[in-house]
Amino acid sequence: MKKYLNSITKIAVLACAALFCSCSGVIFDTIRTEVKLTDAQVSGDVFCITRHSGTDGSEYLYTSLGTIKRKDVKENSSVTGLYGGQWKSVNKPSGLITGIISASDSYLYLTSLKIETVEDDGENEPKSYSIYYSDDDGKTWNTVKLEDGTDISTLTYTGSITKVFGTNSPKAANRAAFLNYAGLVYRLQAGKATVITEDSTYVNLGTSSQSVALLDGVYYFSDNYSMTSNETSSTDATCIYTGSSDSIKYLYTGSSDWVSVDPDLGTIYSLSYAQDKILVGTSEGIKNVILDATTTDASLRYYIPSNSTGTFSSNAASALSSYYQVWQTLVLDPSLALEESDLYASMDFEDSSSNTSATFQNVGMWAFYPGRASWNRE
C-alpha cells in the first residue's frame, strides 16, 4: 500500500510527467560498464505488467505508467531476436492510468485518476477515480457499471486502496479481474462490477486485498502486493505463493495450511514462478529463491521454495541492484528455467539520487532475453 500511495502522491505533486522523465545528477551508476544501456521507452513508475490475449489472437503485455503501453510478446522477444524498444502507446481514457488488468474474456480493465488544482495553494491533488473497460484491446474505453447499471465514474479519492488487480495467469482461460475500492472487492466481468464476499470460491478476502491467485478453482486473496502460482500456459496451478513482509508463504494442492519460509530477501513486493526458481522483486533489488528439488514428496519437487537464494548468470544483481526497489516482475514462460525465459521487472528508488547510487534514468521497465543474456532498459 505504501508504494501505491507514494506513487499517487508523486503524481499529484509533480504532475506525473516530470517524475516519469526527470533526470538528476548521481555519484555513479550501478550498471556494469560492459552492458551498453539502451534508451528507455518505458520509464517512470510502472504500476503493473499485465498479460492479455488480444482479440486478434496475439498475446500481449500491457503496462500502465500514467499512460498505457503494450508489446506483442510473440513478435517482439527472443523469438525474433528483437530486444527492447517494441512497446507501443495505446489509446487511453482521460486521467492518469494507475493500473490495468485483463480477464479471460479478453476484456481489459483500468483505474484512471483525476487530478485537480487546489485554488488556495495552486498544488495538484488527487480527487477521484474512474473505472473503465475495453473489449477491443484498448482502442475504445467505456465506464464499468455496477449491478444496478450505475457507472463507476466518480469514486472519491480517499487515500485507501483503489486498485484493479487479477490473477494475471499464463493460461488465458484462468485470468480473472477484480477491483478493490474503499474496502469492497468487486469481480469484474463483461464490463460490470459485482461485489463479492468470502465463501468457498473467494478465500482470505479482506478490505485490504490487492492480489489474488487461483488454485483448484478457488481464488485466494492477499493483502500483499503480489501473488503467483506454478501455472503455465498449458497446465493449471498446483501451488500458489504470496509475500508476507520478508517471507514467502505457499499453499499446495491437498494442503489446508499456508507454510512460510524466510530466505532473507528484504521486503517482498513481487513474485514470479519459473521451473527452478522464483523471481522476487524486493526493497533491496531483484533476487531469486531456489525451488526445492530434494523433498521426499516427489510430487512437490520444484514447487516448494527453499530458504536459499540463488545467483544470476546475468547482470541482474548489478542492473537491478539493492539501491533500487523492484516492484514488478514477470517470467514470460513459467514452463522454463528462470534464465531460459524472457523476464521483465520494474524498479524505483527512495531518497534523492544525490544520496544514493541510483539514478532516475534507470527507473522504469527492464527486461532480460536469453538470446541477449543480459538485463537492459526497455
pLDDT in tens, 184-204: 999 999 999 999 999 999 999
Q: Tell me what percent of the residues of the chain surpass a pLDDT of 90.
A: 66
In this prediction, residue 140 carries a pLDDT of 98
pLDDT for the residue 149: 81
pLDDT at 150: 79
Mean pLDDT of 233-258: 94
What's residue 16's pLDDT?
41
**Confidence band of 11 (pLDDT split at 50, 70, 90):** very low
Q: For position 125, what pLDDT does the model report?
A: 81
Q: How far apart are CA 94 and CA 100, in angstroms?
A: 14
The 10s digit of each residue's pLDDT in 301-322 is: 789 999 999 999 999 999 999 9
Q: What average pLDDT does the segment 154-165 reach?
A: 84
Angle at 4 between CA 122 and CA 214, to 5 degrees: 150
Decide: 211 and 227 in contact? Cβ < 8 Å.
yes
pLDDT tens-place string over residues 271-291: 999 999 999 999 999 999 999
User: Are the C-beta atoms of 291 and 305 separated by less than 8 Å?
Assistant: yes
Whole-number Å distance between alpha carbons of 53 and 59: 5
Please determine, for residue 75, whether its predicted confidence score (pLDDT) is greater than 80.
Answer: no
pLDDT at 83: 83
Q: Which of 197, 204, 192 is nearest to 147 (CA)?
A: 192
CA distance linking residue 361 with residue 364, whole number of Å = 8
Confidence bin at 24 (pLDDT 50/70/90): very low
Residue 219: is its pLDDT beyond 90?
yes
* pLDDT in the model for residue 17: 38
pLDDT at 272: 98
For residue 122, the model assigns a pLDDT of 63
- Say yes or no to pLDDT of 225 above 80: yes
In a 3-state reduction of DSSP, which class is residue 197? coil
CA distance 271 to 278: 7
Per-residue pLDDT band for 350 (boundaries 50, 70, 90) equals confident
Average pLDDT over residues 61-66: 96
